[in-house]
Amino acid sequence: MDKEIIYYPHVQGITMAENGMPRQFPSHWHNDAEFTLIEKPGCRFRVGDEILTPEPGDVLLVWPRQLHEILHMPEGGGVMIQFSSRLMESHSDLVAASRFISERHLLSASKDPELCTRVRELISQIRKLYHSNPTLVETRCKVRIYEMLILIGEHVMQGYREQIGDENFSDKAWEYIRTACGYIADHSAEDLTQAQVAAQTGLSPYYFSKLFHEYTQMTFPAYLSGIRVQNAIHLLASEQVSVTECAFTAGFQSTTTFNKVFREHTGCTPREYRKLHRQSK
């Protein structure tokens, strides 16, 4: 069980794999999301405790920080897109929806033909953009990824509503989480506490903590640390800002904590990350 660090040498925040994909790959996880369009039969994967045998035309979904494994992949069996978790975690509605969409690991062409067709088309567009490298390629690719996330999110949420009934699906709880995530994003550089965020939503700290974990699958401190690390990553891209300044500007209270949390999230220290970023440029 290993953590994989994904680098983006061509398009920042997005990478693709087609030819040369491993036939097998041991159990691992990474901070990024990974979508695989299946093009040949005989593929087998493990995501968490679930064994999946997708058919051609299906799309395998692995969400950030999920343990997964390639059990068998035939030569030319699929097209893989990996993208930064920041694309999801910087939007409060996607964070709130993560409780639901992160449980979905397969889009079936036979069961959901319209959805699969639209997602396949978007992956094909990203594939073409990635290799042709037009002006503003990063933005063009990320727009398609957001379109996929919207399609998948709407599909999963509608299915969940139908499964439990509208009376049990709490729009109010959903709004609490969206409000909280937006407030955290705006105030992450401050000395922010869970009690302060709970007060903004009008909930007790205890109930807010329970609801936040239920919907985001993360504790408040872990979510806040993740936001701060992502902010620090953007600051580290500038050679004009020292590592210490990056730490405090992002909201960390000490460089020791910054180094520890940054390594936990990325697998390297801030200085190592800056060096890798410089080399990739």
Residue 158 has a pLDDT of: 82
- 165's tokens: 């009934």
The whole-number mean pLDDT for each consecutive block of 10 residues of the chain, a chain of 281 residues, reads: 76 87 89 94 94 96 92 94 88 79 93 95 95 92 96 87 60 82 89 95 93 85 89 84 93 94 86 76 54
Neighbours of 138 (CB within 10 A): 15
Are residue 61 and residue 88 in the same domain, yes or no? yes
Residue 90 has a pLDDT of: 77
Residue 281 has a pLDDT of: 54
- 215's tokens: 């919907």
Are residue 9 and residue 130 in the same domain, yes or no? yes
Choosing from 133, 164, 195, the residue where a domain stops is 164
Are residue 72 and residue 153 in the same domain, yes or no? yes
Q: Most distant CA pair in the chain: distance in Å?
A: 54
Query: Residue 46 class from Cβ within 10 Å (0-12 exposed, 13-18 middle, 19+ buried)?
Result: middle
Residue 111 has a pLDDT of: 94
Q: Are 198 and 208 in contact (CB under 8 A)?
A: yes
Are residue 250 and residue 143 in the same domain, yes or no? no
Are residue 186 and residue 269 in the same domain, yes or no? yes
Are residue 64 and residue 106 in the same domain, yes or no? yes
Choosing from 110, 135, 164, the residue where a domain stops is 164
Choosing from 164, 197, 226, the residue where a domain stops is 164
User: Which residues form the domain of 251?
Assistant: 171-280
Task: For residue 66, give the nearest of 87, 80, 45 by alpha carbon.
Answer: 45
Are residue 131 and residue 196 in the same domain, yes or no? no
Cα(128)–Cα(50) distance, integer angstroms: 32
